[in-house]
Amino acid sequence: MKRDDGLAARFDAHRDHLRTVAYRILGSLSEAEDAVQEAWLRLMRVDANSINNLGGWLTTVVSRVCLDMLRARESRREELAGHQVSDQSPDPAPAGDPAQEALLADSVGRALLVVLDRLGPAERIAFVLHDMFAVPFDEIAPIVDRSTVTTKKLASRARQKVRGTPSVPGVELARQRHVIEAFLAASRAGDVDAVLAVLVPDVVRRADQAALPTGRATEVRGARAVAEEIVVFGRNAQFAEPALVNGVVGIVVAPRARLALVLTVTVEGERIAGYELVADPIRLQELDLAVLDR
């Protein structure tokens, strides 16, 4: 297929935007790059001069490619249901540039990417395109093969899932978040004293066996023991972010924007009284996860 340098330049002017759209839909940098490349290949097969709005046309094409990829991903998950492997995510993210992917995940929000990953393919497309990129519903509808009215309902349903429903008043939610953010900051810094400052003396850490390396106890008691464990094993704190977990503030851990672990946390006053590491795939799926306002 002969390269048209003029067309390539026009495409490159939209590349960054297309990659951003694809990443927010897919949550995977390498998959987003694949979707953008597929859009380029499709552009080369048509008469570009007949396209009035190249940016809009490319966004539509990338979104359709992403929708197909989401549906394929969902099919793989269904095939793997009942055949989970305890030490491996059932849907591992493809390899890519870890540093660039980390920057993208942090810029979007790991909790948001985790929650988006729980939406149906059409819901995710409708929400991302409308709520994040202000694409009109009448332009989204043909992509998801729905009416405009139904597409609005898809986005509304997705929005409710993303925002969730807190089970405590706003003041209490803010207090929990403050404590958990202090805990995460101390964990990332590896600062034992700072971790101790946000733990009650008789704090209890519990965990699924699936969340632990071989040989670690499923239960640890006492602030000093828990804090020292965090300093040694808390490297994943860099991939952690507060989220709404079953209506209260908890923590999601999502390396490469894929959910690996959830911490359900009990906050008493200004300190943490206990938390549990949840990594079992069935238990993770049962948790109600939503996004806290950033």
**Residues forming CATH 1.20.140 domain(s) in the chain:** 5-163
- pTM for the whole structure: 0.87
Nearest to 16 by CA among 100, 78, 73, 90: 100
Class of domain 170-290: alpha beta
Alpha carbon distance 283, 271 (integer Å): 26
Q: Is the pLDDT of residue 290 over 50?
A: yes
User: pLDDT at residue 85 above 50?
Assistant: no
Per cent of the chain over pLDDT 70 is 92
CATH 3.10.450.50 domain range(s) in the chain: 170-290
Q: Summarize pLDDT for 181-234 with one digit per residue, the tens.
A: 999 999 999 899 999 999 999 999 999 999 988 888 999 999 999 999 988 777
Structure tokens at 145: 């093969």
Q: What is the pLDDT of residues 43-75, one digit of tens each?
A: 999 998 899 999 999 999 999 999 999 999 988
| Fold (topology level) of 5-163 | Butyryl-CoA Dehydrogenase, subunit A; domain 3 (1.20.140)
3-state percent helix, strand, coil for the chain, nearest multiple of 5:
60, 15, 25
